[in-house]
Structure 1
Amino acid sequence: MKAMTRLSLSVGFAASTLLSSSVWAVEAPIQPKVMLITMFAPEAQNWIDRLELKQEVRVPGLSAEYPNIRCNTQQVCLMVTGMGQTNAAASTLALALSPKFDLRKSYFLIAGIAGISPKHGTIGTTAWAHYLVEFGTQWELDSRDAPKDWPTGYLGINTKGPNEKPPLDYKTEVFELNPKLQAKAFALSHKVELSESKESAVWRLKYPSAPANQPPVVTQCDTLAGNTWFSGTRLSERAEVWTKLLTNNEGVYCTTQQEDNSTYEALLRASREGLVDVRRLAVVRAGSDFDRPAPGQSEVDNLLKYADQGGFVPALENLYRTGNPLVQEILQHWSAWEKGVPEA
């Protein structure tokens, strides 16, 4: 009996020791100082190569195409969400809920390509956003069935006409980013020299006025999200009106993309639970093609032949050139940024 007791005690002690070792072996969560958010592989590659994001961390719930977060030793990490609203929301929330990461003090930078308005930029222009506006949350009639005095078939949900601001019942129609962070990001990057290709430098000369026909620069204006990739003068003009309506005439539409309101909403929900701080989100978009043709050019070709504009590679390069000064500022002066965006 005593032998059995000693055996039981020995087994129990061994099991307890093994359990304790397993508990202590659990790695502490990664605490990124900066989390980069891109939507597909080409947007991610410059960051991966130049910041040496070599560590791969699999996070359940990310896109099957992009299942890993990549990090470096300086506490910069990168997520590729997958393209479109559904992928952006699902991947972002999966990351925010993952016990593998502690994101409470992390800064987030969305860096992606976009269509660009010739009224506020050119191919290769990078724009820091203040407002994120959702374009898809509208009523729509086929434009051929709309009243003749309507420029398109779009109008706000539960409104009587295209120039009436809708009730914001979905709560995701428009978001305002932290203006202090946007101002810091712009101040750090506005003198950066941006790139353009031979093709984009020629293409921009089709436009009769600045800034469309000038070399790209860093600017500040707002971005419009929607899964439908629209193109053309009338729809782009609707984007301008819609942005003004939803921001009480404060916003200025200049870039069009698919994901940013969805990404923001996922971060906002996580922020309410204390998992992230959504005030630490910045958004920069780079124009890879014009949202409308130059006067006298084909509306159809502007969409179907968008790649001929030559803006894809310069836009990817310019995202890195514009966003990296903010990343490096945060890393080099973490003591000033750790508690929030510095005043000075």
Structure 2
Amino acid sequence: MRLVSTLLAAALVGAVSAPVAAAPVAPKVLVISMFKHEAANWLENEGLSDKIAIDGLSKDFPDVSCNDKGLCLVTTSMGYANAASSMMALVLSDKLDLTKTYVLIAGIAGVDPQNGTLGSAFWARYAIDGGLQWRIDDRKAPEGWTSGQFGMFSKAQGEKPGSRYGSEVYHLNEALAERAYELSKGVELADSDGAQAYRAHYPQEAAKAAPAVGICDTVSADQWWHGVALSRAMNDWAKVLTDGAADYCTTQQEDNATLTALARGSALGRIDMDRVAILRTASNFDQPYPGQAPQDSLNANSGGFGPSLTNAYRVGKAFTDAVLADWSAWEGGISAK
């Protein structure tokens, strides 16, 4: 009897002293960066000193960094596999409550000189997967085709394929993108002497102009493409998938992968996709200037890297500050059009 009593007492003591699980952190805004340089300005300027270790994040960036205002930052590592894996781990973590969180993807990108210039910042309405296509040798493409790229299981270029993967295109909340644009369009953007000199080589008016904030769309793929024909092909692809609605201007490696993980979380009731925004800033052009070889353009020091990093932070901060300063106006969400 004494042994039973002793065991019962020990069990009760253990139950009383067992640690209570911490309540999940509920960020008002979560910023997603892809590599350390994109994260640096947020970490250095926003007091993100609270670290939350999340199982399954990149070994290089194993923590979510937060401050006491409700702003958090996660860095996924670059490319589709890293972005999807990191975001899936984040979405499924019980350490976070993301049900009312605004998610801001803020990173750098290539830009079509028809639509923008080095240092410019663009809020996206559509994110299009540039890799989910069939491609044949461009030199063997049928007469009249602009490239060897066309939709999977379609018969001709320009024919809209069915959605076989479910991640071919994401239409973001345009009302949120427009609100973010209005909040940030007057932000003073960084530039550089190198970027000014480099953009002068381009004949397009948008490319020669000073950097600005705008709204246009983004195409994702792990493979970096470069050249006038490839840029036009991706623009055509974006229009095919969106029935002409998308206006391609930026190219990057992660967004459709990130959005797919977030969409999985939305299906589980853990994420509100109407609270997701994409901001991409231009670090380089997606094609050479006249007379320049594509490989030289791809490897050129265009002067856009530094300004694009700074502007991703400045423009993104205009949005995050607005949300944090007036949470009662944002907590209920922004209705999609």
**Above 0.5 in TM-score?**
yes
Q: For 1:29 and 1:142, locate their aligned partners in 2 and report how far apart those are by CA, in whole Å.
A: 51
2:15 counterpart residue number: 19
1:98 equivalent in alignment to 2:93: yes
Q: For 2:294 and 2:332, locate their aligned partners in 1 and report how far apart those are by CA, in whole Å.
A: 49
Deviation at 1:151, TM superposition (A): 2.2
- Determine which of 25, 28, 31 is the counterpart of 2:26: 31
2:107 counterpart residue number: 112
Q: For 2:206 and 2:231, locate their aligned partners in 1 and report how far apart those are by CA, in whole Å.
A: 17
Deviation at 1:297, TM superposition (A): 2.3
- Determine which of 197, 221, 224 is the counterpart of 1:229: 224
Tell which structure's C-alpha radius of gyration is larger.
Answer: 1
Q: Deviations over 1:98-141 (max 9, x none)?
A: 01111111110000110001111100010000000000000011
Q: Deviations over 1:213-267 (max 9, x none)?
A: 0110001000000111101100000011011111111110000001101111111
Quick one: which amino acid aligns to residue 52 of structure 1? G
Deviation at 1:15, TM superposition (A): 2.4
SS in 2 for 1:230: coil
Deviation at 1:276, TM superposition (A): 1.2
Q: Deviations over 1:29-63 (max 9, x none)?
A: 11111111011110000011110111111111111
Percentage identity across paired residues of the two chains: 43
1:162 equivalent in alignment to 2:157: yes
Quick one: which amino acid aligns to residue 11 of structure 2? A
Q: For 2:38 and 2:125, locate their aligned partners in 1 and report how far apart those are by CA, in whole Å.
A: 21
Q: Which runs of 5+ in 1 are unaligned?
A: none
2:146 counterpart residue number: 151
SS in 1 for 2:207: coil
1:123 counterpart residue number: 118
Q: For 2:166 and 2:204, locate their aligned partners in 1 and report how far apart those are by CA, in whole Å.
A: 37
1:238 counterpart residue number: 233
Q: For 1:145 and 1:201, locate their aligned partners in 2 and report how far apart those are by CA, in whole Å.
A: 39
Q: For 1:60 and 1:322, locate their aligned partners in 2 and report how far apart those are by CA, in whole Å.
A: 30
Residues 336 and 342 of structure 1 are in contact (CA less than 8 Å); yes or no, is this contact kept in structure 2? no
1:327 counterpart residue number: 320
Residues 80 and 253 of structure 2 are in contact (CA less than 8 Å); yes or no, is this contact kept in structure 1? yes
Q: For 1:93 and 1:278, locate their aligned partners in 2 and report how far apart those are by CA, in whole Å.
A: 14
Deviation at 1:269, TM superposition (A): 0.9
SS in 1 for 2:200: helix
Q: For 2:13 and 2:319, locate their aligned partners in 1 and report how far apart those are by CA, in whole Å.
A: 47
2:56 counterpart residue number: 61
Q: Deviations over 1:177-202 (max 9, x none)?
A: 01111011000001111111111011
Deviation at 1:143, TM superposition (A): 1.6
Deviation at 1:294, TM superposition (A): 1.7
Q: For 1:331 and 1:254, locate their aligned partners in 2 and report how far apart those are by CA, in whole Å.
A: 29
Deviation at 1:10, TM superposition (A): 4.5
Residues 194 and 321 of structure 1 are in contact (CA less than 8 Å); yes or no, is this contact kept in structure 2? yes
Distance of aligned partners of 1:13 and 1:338 in 2 relative to their CA distance in 1, 3 Å threshold? farther
1:218 counterpart residue number: 213
Quick one: which amino acid aligns to residue 194 of structure 2? E
2:304 counterpart residue number: 311
1:340 counterpart residue number: 333
Deviation at 1:13, TM superposition (A): 2.9
Which is further off, 128-137 or 286-295?
Answer: 286-295
Residues 48 and 72 of structure 2 are in contact (CA less than 8 Å); yes or no, is this contact kept in structure 1? yes
Quick one: which amino acid aligns to residue 131 of structure 2? G
Q: For 1:325 and 1:91, locate their aligned partners in 2 and report how far apart those are by CA, in whole Å.
A: 26
Q: For 1:213 and 1:27, locate their aligned partners in 2 and report how far apart those are by CA, in whole Å.
A: 53
Residues 235 and 248 of structure 2 are in contact (CA less than 8 Å); yes or no, is this contact kept in structure 1? yes
1:185 equivalent in alignment to 2:212: no
Q: For 1:342 and 1:321, locate their aligned partners in 2 and report how far apart those are by CA, in whole Å.
A: 25
Residues 274 and 335 of structure 2 are in contact (CA less than 8 Å); yes or no, is this contact kept in structure 1? no
SS in 2 for 1:162: coil
Deviation at 1:277, TM superposition (A): 0.8
Greater than 6 Å deviation, 4+ residue runs: none
2:296 counterpart residue number: 301
1:8 equivalent in alignment to 2:42: no
Q: For 1:342 and 1:276, locate their aligned partners in 2 and report how far apart those are by CA, in whole Å.
A: 15
Q: For 1:9 and 1:338, locate their aligned partners in 2 and report how far apart those are by CA, in whole Å.
A: 52
SS in 2 for 1:13: helix
